[in-house]
Amino acid sequence: MREKGQKVLGVIGGMGPLATQLFYKMVIDKTEAHCDQDHLNMIILNHASIPDRTTAIKSGDVEELYHKLLHDAKFLEVGGADYIAIPCNTSHLLVDRLQRNLNIPIVNMIKEAAMSVYCRYGENFKLGILATDGTIKTKLYQNECKALGITAVVPSEENQARVMKIIYDGIKDGNPIDMKDFYEIEKEMKEEGCKCVLMACTELSCFKEMNKLSDFYVDAMEVLAERAIVLCDKKLK
Q: Which residues are catalytic?
A: 88, 201
d(CA 114, CA 112): 6
